[in-house]
Structure 1
Amino acid sequence: MRAEPFFGPDFTLLQRQDPEMAQILLDELERASGGLQLIASENFTSPAVMAALGSTLTNKYAEGYPGRRYYGGCEVVDRAERLAIDRARRLFAAEHANVQPHSGASANLAAYAALLQPGDTMLAMALPHGGHLTHGSKVNFSGRWFDVVSYGVRRDTEQIDYDEVRDLALRNQPKVIVCGATAYPRLIDFSAFRGIADEVGAWLLADVAHTIGLMAGGAIPSAVPYADVVTFTTHKALRGPRGGGILCTAELAARVDRAVFPFVQGGPLMHAIAAKAVAFAEAAAPEFAGYTQRVVANAKALCDSLAAEGMRPVSGGTDSHLALIDLRAIEVTGAEAEKRCAAAGITLNRNAIPYDPEPASITSGLRVGTPCVTTQGMGPEQLKEVGTLVAQAIRYPENAAEVQERVSGMVAIHKPYLSEY
């Protein structure tokens, strides 16, 4: 297997120095490129992003911000961070950007630190209805440090009830309202949330970790014009390195920067920041807009295909890169479906559906996403076939080898990097 496009020309050095680790990398490459990757929160980065991520910038310690470091010798990495900040601001039309957060969770922690004190009230989407751990789960810092009021989706439409959100806001007077989700397939009405936040005098925080790439490409409306603070990740549909970021108004810039450093984090990962800058430049290219539109079109095609196979899409469909699938009609749990798909070379994840009768470790649903397969050059026709293969793998586990053979045929044609780079 040719490893150079994935690991760089120095991979042969790793093979000589640490063959055990080199083999692990090759095994992961074989796993990822040998099957269908339908995890909604994953993607394949470009070789340019990986080159920056594996660069000499990993060696530089740079606590602080460009021009205000606590270490000498930062004049070069300052240029890298300023470039990432400028590109992020232009890409998202934001007044301020902080590119130092290590992840989406750390970005949320910093955003809360900038806006809240322990014990303050925040209103956010419930995890079982599609929210995130950092939106107030009791096992997370957000649920332990803040007084969290949760909203969810209606039983009949399985979509956000904005009247309920408003009622909860009026009743509880939160200091921050959080909108955004990890397993909600529909568009979020940021304008409605802005109106509710203004009515109760709350800050509006949009956690768009999942959809920031689609916003960058114009495939869905942006949260930036409506939210006071926007947190995001760089490694999903945005196709960047694993990491996070924060966008905010000029009014909150100093508070957000102080919350990231020195309150939440120490030294930034300068190699990751450089890779983020590369990803922002790629997302600003005209081709990226077409990519994000194809991601959404592919998600709709996959959703429709699964529906035709008797697997009900939650909320009746999708407007984004992911779909949430209710498996109760075919009497298979999400955990079992995930296992059966894995045996057939299809990687996806079990996921709770709204009002799920099963525990989170089992679930009644699946979450599927199309960023990876779209990067590989697949289109709606291929995604219809993917839906059929997922259904076959789940319904007929005894035919896993046959399904895997068909999967192998698809990925042999549509390889990572082949079409988009």
Structure 2
Amino acid sequence: MTVHLLLGRLCVLVNHLPTTDSDLSNAIAAERERQRDTLAMIASENYASESVLEAQGSVLTNKYAEGDPGNRYYAGCEHVDTVEEIAIERAKELFGAEHANVQPHSGTQANLAAYLALLEPGDRILSLELSHGGHLSHGHERTLPHDHFEVFHYTLDVDTGRLEYDAVAERAREVNPDLLVSGYSAYPRRVDWTRMQAIAEEVDAYHVADIAHLTGLIAGGVHPSPVDTADIVTCSTHKTIRAGRGGMVLCDREYADIVDRAVMPGCQGGPLMHNVAGKAAGFGEALRPEFEEYAAAILENAEALSEQLRARGLELVSGGTDVHFALVDLRNTHPERTGLAAERALEEAGIVANKSAVPGDPRPPTRASGLRLGTPALTTRGFGPDDLRTVANLVVDVLENPADDAVEAAVRERVSELCDEHPVYE
């Protein structure tokens, strides 16, 4: 049985645009071609199935549904109630959660809802520093959480690139936070959720686990889950789980009411019911046995990618990966090249990745010294470990030969061959 998602001809709601709005139609068609003809290695990206796309492009986009199923502020919600209830029940089954709110428009809004549910203005948040792998929504200085709460940070060990839990505990004692955030955007190792919960409890803080990147790995049973450990779990619903684009909050029943009210009206008004339908469709796919194979294949591919990158001389933060991406540190092997320059060079060759800060990075995040390379989307296309070793070689060829047109052309040709071997959205 194949573990990748079968993606056939993309024909959902594209029959009218060519005649009614050619400019928009052409832009969408061009994006489809870009996705088909390049290697998507941004760790937060994936390919939604035909079913998810159909759900998200449905008439549900027309319906306002402020409130919860059975308790809406508008009439005519009987069918969207059914859609949301399907998404909720599937989410609870996937993650073993007592309560799920599937309305957040994004993982960031799921985090905002968690903060609003648990905290008062001026309370203290302790989260991982952005340059060490945290996320903007964990309290970056230019975000809403930073404006409303006192935000402090812990860091990774800059030598090992790993969380040192004793150091996190010491930092928690210093800061005495009201809320501890775990779960990260660019940390390539497993998190000890139980240890983080113990740290939170020691300082009488709540614990929010943000599994935005890990949602599909946890649903597929190949990564430990913080559900039933952390007080509240937040996530994205489109990355490794490849459901409808958006966010979700999972919690025990004791937090259900305050979470629901924090989502709406606390953070947003009406849910995007077409996206909720996309979440339901994707969750349904994730409940099938083959999704476990897919999740396992993501990790197998990430390991193959990491091993080959290291074999070709690149340094990886923490020395490898336990998750769906490798984080390359360019400072020693390519000190003259920024993450931004590497990102642009790879894109010219048909490999779409993203720059990333690394622990102790002297460069600003807009330039950075790292490169994050993910495997979820390529795994969806059907790439296997041998393919990922090939891709690793192509990445290194580009990095080792800056501004070499012949190398770029050769890599792009091989990228084209790989895309043809593993088609998407034909």
TM range (shorter): over 0.9
Does 1:23 find its partner at 2:26?
Answer: yes
**Aligned equivalent of 1:368:** 373
Deviations 1:317-362, CA, capped at 9 Å, x for gaps: 0000011101121232111111110110000001110001112111
Does 1:305 find its partner at 2:313?
Answer: no
Q: State the 1:244 CA deviation.
A: 0.4
Q: Is 1:313–1:326's contact at 8 Å kept on the other side of the alignment?
A: yes
The 2-side partners of 1:23 and 1:395 are apart by 36
**Aligned equivalent of 1:6:** 10
The 2-side partners of 1:5 and 1:213 are apart by 25
The 1-side partners of 2:274 and 2:15 are apart by 21
Please list every run of at least 4 consecutive aligned residues from structure 1 whose deviation after the TM superposition is greater than 6 angstroms: none
Deviations 1:236-294, CA, capped at 9 Å, x for gaps: 01011210000011110000000001111101111110110111111111100010011
Does 1:387 find its partner at 2:392?
Answer: yes
**Aligned equivalent of 2:171:** 168
Among candidates 193, 196, 208, match of residue 193 of structure 1? 196
Q: State the 1:190 CA deviation.
A: 0.1
Deviations 1:55-109, CA, capped at 9 Å, x for gaps: 0111111111111101000011001111111110111000100000000111111
Q: Which amino acid aligns with 2:84?
A: E
Q: Which amino acid aligns with 1:194?
A: Q
**Aligned equivalent of 2:424:** 416
Q: State the 1:200 CA deviation.
A: 1.6
**Aligned equivalent of 1:357:** 362
**Aligned equivalent of 2:351:** 346
Does 1:241 find its partner at 2:269?
Answer: no
**Aligned equivalent of 2:88:** 85
Q: State the 1:147 CA deviation.
A: 0.9
**Aligned equivalent of 1:266:** 269
**Aligned equivalent of 2:412:** 404
Q: Is 2:126–2:172's contact at 8 Å kept on the other side of the alignment?
A: yes
The 2-side partners of 1:182 and 1:86 are apart by 27
Deviations 1:175-209, CA, capped at 9 Å, x for gaps: 11100100000000001011111222211100010
Q: Is 1:206–1:223's contact at 8 Å kept on the other side of the alignment?
A: yes
Among candidates 74, 94, 98, match of residue 97 of structure 2? 94
**Aligned equivalent of 1:326:** 329
The 2-side partners of 1:221 and 1:200 are apart by 24
Q: Which amino acid aligns with 2:161?
A: E
The count of residues paired between Structure 1 and Structure 2 equals 415
Pairs within 5 Å for 1:2-81: 5-8=9-12, 10-81=13-84
SS at match of 1:137: coil
Among candidates 336, 340, 352, match of residue 341 of structure 2? 336
Q: Is 1:46–1:417's contact at 8 Å kept on the other side of the alignment?
A: no
**Deviation larger for 116-125 or 327-336:** 327-336
Q: State the 1:4 CA deviation.
A: 8.0
Stretches of structure 2 lacking an aligned partner (at least 5 in a row): 1-6
Deviations 1:128-177, CA, capped at 9 Å, x for gaps: 10000011110111222111120110122110111111112222221111
Q: Is 2:305–2:385's contact at 8 Å kept on the other side of the alignment?
A: yes
SS at match of 1:206: strand
CA-based RMSD of the aligned residues comes to: 1.2
Q: Is 1:241–1:272's contact at 8 Å kept on the other side of the alignment?
A: yes
Q: Is 2:10–2:425's contact at 8 Å kept on the other side of the alignment?
A: no
Q: State the 1:417 CA deviation.
A: 6.2
Q: Which amino acid aligns with 1:403?
A: V
With normalisation by structure 2, the TM-score equals: 0.96
SS at match of 1:268: coil
Q: Which amino acid aligns with 1:281?
A: G
Stretches of structure 1 lacking an aligned partner (at least 5 in a row): none
**Aligned equivalent of 2:4:** none
Q: Is 2:106–2:247's contact at 8 Å kept on the other side of the alignment?
A: yes
With normalisation by structure 1, the TM-score equals: 0.97
| Relative contact order higher in (CA < 8 Å, ≥ 6 apart) | 2
Q: Is 1:376–1:417's contact at 8 Å kept on the other side of the alignment?
A: no
Pairs within 5 Å for 1:128-277: 128-277=131-280
